[in-house]
């Protein structure tokens, strides 16, 4: 299902009240309700067209629940890019200031802290339950638009399998429910037998009564990750895999007729699997779980999901056992999982709680290509964003030569760069004839050069030439004209200068 078919369960509408259905499992509604929290957020997304500017603040609401340890569990997208967060318990009127203590943008989960102990007086704390079964009854709690009273929606689990999480663009285990979920109930708990079976996350807009929750299994991984006080994220092998359902494909790679597996088509440079698995290997088992030719493993009896589940069950730094066939010979090995899922991507997926990276030289504004940048063209970005940028996003895996795609975003027009002022959104491949693998490398090349001219070459071989000394002398005037405080983002400043900025 395409990502565009989903919407996060956002703040402009929440779960509609469904009539109580006879036969649903009894739950202490009062005890659960005492733990339900409404979340008020003011957030500010960066302006990726003008990366030195902050975006306009936007207010919204979401839901959450109190858990052990005096924390509030919710979705990451409820509080991402938040500048001011408050919480209010069900049945009360007072709001309390809150802050994000831990957040997983990968799994769309967050934990909030509330410093005022009065917020937790006589509050219930919900516990995490098991992964719900298909056809098991669930109750979803949240605060709907159009009123200020908590609503409860009831339904059953329709399926459990991997889905793309809208917030991160990554695929994780998800629980589909047939409760009528509408945009708005972000972070509200899904309750089975008084325990948290998941957290409401997103809805499929092209179908009726299809909503998704982050399941307890993923939430437990998030909690376990935080046990050492540091969040590492979800690991990946760093492979591109192809299903092997075609018998001729299996014969080509010397796979016995009754043996299943998936074909390794690419091993990402620097990935966890580098040096252990090779292109052309066929993975047959992960942690002793057979991998089917369609790329799935058994989740439970008569239920299957992506084989990435086996990897995602692990914490960073753990070892994954892998069985594979190479040139007809069965082999085995161990992969130490040291990289998170986003580390192997050439173009980062949606990012949050970070400011854009940029570098200006001679009025030319450079930045890395990110999904956030192309989405700055609006909801119809797949059609509206420049084709040069869209084409550079695929295939989205780091190559042997490039760590990130560098873009000449725009030109701050002035006498210095006369004739180049209409150039924008082109991919830069070379500086002074040398290949560029990252924005930091481009910056280093420019600033270490002793040549009188600096040349930038795009993906089509067109060249921009600037006088280096003139750029150094006239750029302060350009920055002043366009009211830009710095020629680079804070993450590109020298360490000493960055520390000075933080002290201020």
Catalytic residues: 77, 108, 186
Query: HSE on the CB side for 238, CA within 13 Å?
Result: 24
Q: How far apart are CA 27 and CA 285, in angstroms?
A: 41
Evaluate whether 114 touches 139 at the Cβ level (below 8 Å).
Answer: no
Q: How far apart are CA 473 and CA 469, in angstroms?
A: 6
Which of 374, 238, 381 is CA-nearest to residue 308?
Answer: 238
- The torsion angles phi and psi of 150, rounded to 5 degrees, stand at -65, 140
Q: How far apart are CA 263 and CA 282, in angstroms?
A: 4
Strands (E), 114-261: 137-142, 151-164, 171-177, 189-192, 195-204, 211-215, 239-243
The residues, ordered by sequence, that sit 6+ positions from 230 with a Cβ below 8 Å of its Cβ are none
Q: How far apart are CA 193 and CA 308, in angstroms?
A: 29
The residues, ordered by sequence, that sit 6+ positions from 433 with a Cβ below 8 Å of its Cβ are 455, 457
Strands (E), 205-337: 211-215, 239-243, 262-267, 282-286, 289-290, 296-300, 303-306, 319-326, 329-336
Which of 337, 317, 334, 323 is CA-nearest to residue 271?
Answer: 337
Q: How far apart are CA 149 and CA 166, in angstroms?
A: 27
- Kind and range of the H or E run holding 98: strand 96-104
């Amino acid at each position: 299902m395409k990502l565009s078919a989903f919407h996060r369960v956002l703040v402009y509408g929440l779960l509609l009240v469904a009539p109580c259905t006879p036969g649903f499992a009894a739950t202490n509604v009062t005890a659960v309700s005492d733990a339900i929290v409404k979340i008020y957020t003011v957030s500010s997304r960066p302006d990726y067209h003008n990366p030195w500017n902050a975006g306009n603040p936007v207010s919204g609401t979401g839901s959450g629940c109190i858990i052990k340890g005096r924390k509030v569990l919710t979705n990451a997208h409820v509080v991402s890019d938040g500048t001011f967060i408050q919480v209010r318990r069900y049945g009360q009127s007072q709001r309390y200031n809150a802050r994000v203590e831990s957040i997983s943008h990968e799994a769309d989960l967050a934990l909030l802290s509330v410093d005022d102990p009065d917020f937790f007086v006589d509050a219930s704390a919900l516990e995490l339950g098991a992964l719900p079964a298909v056809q098991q009854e669930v109750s979803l709690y949240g605060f709907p638009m159009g009123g200020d009273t908590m609503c409860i929606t009831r339904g059953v689990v329709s399926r459990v399998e991997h889905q793309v999480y809208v917030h991160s663009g990554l695929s994780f285990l998800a629980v589909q429910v047939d409760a009528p979920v509408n945009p708005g109930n972000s972070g509200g708990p899904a309750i089975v037998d008084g325990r948290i079976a998941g957290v409401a996350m997103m809805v499929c807009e092209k179908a009726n009564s299809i909503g998704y929750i982050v399941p307890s299994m993923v939430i437990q991984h998030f909690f376990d990750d935080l046990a050492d006080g540091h969040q590492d994220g979800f690991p990946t092998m760093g492979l591109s895999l192809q299903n092997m359902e075609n018998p001729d494909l299996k014969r080509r790679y010397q796979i016995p007729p009754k043996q299943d597996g998936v074909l390794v088509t690419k091993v990402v440079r620097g990935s966890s699997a580098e040096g252990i698995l090779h292109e052309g290997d066929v993975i047959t088992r992960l942690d002793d779980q057979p991998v089917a030719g369609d790329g799935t493993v058994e989740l439970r009896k008569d239920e299957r999901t992506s084989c990435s589940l086996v990897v995602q069950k692990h914490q960073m730094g753990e070892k994954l056992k892998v069985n594979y066939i190479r040139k007809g010979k069965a082999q085995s090995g161990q992969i130490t999982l040291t990289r998170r899922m986003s580390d192997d991507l050439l173009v980062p997926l949606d990012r949050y709680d970070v400011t854009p990276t940029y570098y200006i030289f001679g009025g030319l504004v450079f930045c890395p290509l990110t999904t956030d940048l192309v989405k700055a063209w609006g909801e119809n970005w797949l059609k509206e964003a420049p084709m040069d940028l869209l084409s550079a996003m695929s295939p989205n895996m780091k190559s042997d030569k490039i760590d990130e795609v560098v873009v000449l975003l725009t030109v701050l027009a002035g006498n210095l760069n006369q004739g180049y002022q209409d150039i924008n959104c082109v991919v830069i491949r070379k500086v002074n004839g040398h290949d560029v693998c990252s924005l930091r490398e481009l910056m280093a090349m420019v600033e270490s050069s002793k040549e009188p001219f600096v040349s930038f070459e795009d993906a089509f071989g067109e060249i921009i030439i600037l006088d280096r000394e003139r750029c150094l002398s006239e750029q302060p005037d350009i920055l002043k004209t366009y009211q830009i405080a710095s020629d680079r983002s804070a993450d590109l400043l020298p360490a000493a200068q960055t520390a000075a900025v933080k002290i201020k």
